Structure 1
């Protein structure tokens, strides 16, 4: 119980990131064809239009990696107060979100970029909390 109270903010942020990236990764796996189709259309006018399947695989790998790091971080924080995985997951989430932000900016989807910024703020705050 001591570790929970000591790391309650980090654990809550890890849960937020876990839900975000796990759901996104599952959605990409379950509806791969729909995601590829929508993204090809979304990036049709950009240099990334022909690379959508490859880029989607990269994002999927990063999202699953981040989700696994979040699970490990929550366990490590609860069991022994160990924060390395919280740092790793928050950093991985931040990098993944920066890549998504880059894509939205390239596609000139400024509203989508703004939405990603909200998630990025949480990830950066999680990184800050994990390193303090």
Structure 2
């Protein structure tokens, strides 16, 4: 019980990453065509128009890795009090969010970009906690 109490913020951050990224990655796998169709339209008038399938695949892989690293991070936090994998999960999550932010800005979807900034702030604050 002490481990959970002593690592509560870190564990909540890992659960946030799992919910955010693993769910999103699974959704892309389950509804690839729907996601691809929406994104093709979303980026149709941008410099990314011809690269949407490749970029969607890259984001899918990164999201799944983020979620899996967070699961391992939870295990390490609970079993050994080690935050190494939690830090890796958070760093990769931040980089993934920056990629998504870039896409939203290129598509001139400023409201979507703002949403990503909210997620990014959670990750950055979490990294401060993990590194202290």
- TM-score, length-normalised on structure 2? 0.98
Does residue 117 in structure 1 map to residue 117 in structure 2? yes
Q: Deviations over 1:60-100 (max 9, x none)?
A: 01000000000000110011100101100000110000000
Question: Which residue pairs with 2:40 in the alignment?
Answer: 40
Question: Which residue pairs with 2:3 in the alignment?
Answer: 3
How far 1:2 sits from its partner (Å)? 1.9
Q: Would you identify which runs of 4 or more consecutive aligned residues in structure 1 move more than 6 Å?
A: none
Cα distance in 1, alignment partners of residues 119 and 131 from structure 2? 19
Segments of 5+ residues of structure 2 without an aligned counterpart are none
Segments of 5+ residues of structure 1 without an aligned counterpart are none
Question: Which residue pairs with 2:80 in the alignment?
Answer: 80
Question: Which residue pairs with 1:108 in the alignment?
Answer: 108
Q: Please tell me whether the aligned partners of residues 14 and 126 of structure 1 are also in contact (alpha carbons under 8 angstroms).
A: no
Q: Compute the RMSD of aligned alpha carbons.
A: 0.6
- TM-score, length-normalised on structure 1? 0.98
Cα distance in 2, alignment partners of residues 12 and 105 from structure 1? 29
Question: Which residue pairs with 2:128 in the alignment?
Answer: 128
Worse overlay, 120-129 or 67-76: 120-129
Question: Which residue pairs with 1:30 in the alignment?
Answer: 30
Which secondary structure state, in structure 2, belongs to the residue aligned with residue 15 of structure 1?
helix
Q: How many pairs were matched up?
A: 132
Q: Please tell me whether the aligned partners of residues 43 and 107 of structure 1 are also in contact (alpha carbons under 8 angstroms).
A: yes
Cα distance in 2, alignment partners of residues 124 and 111 from structure 1? 20
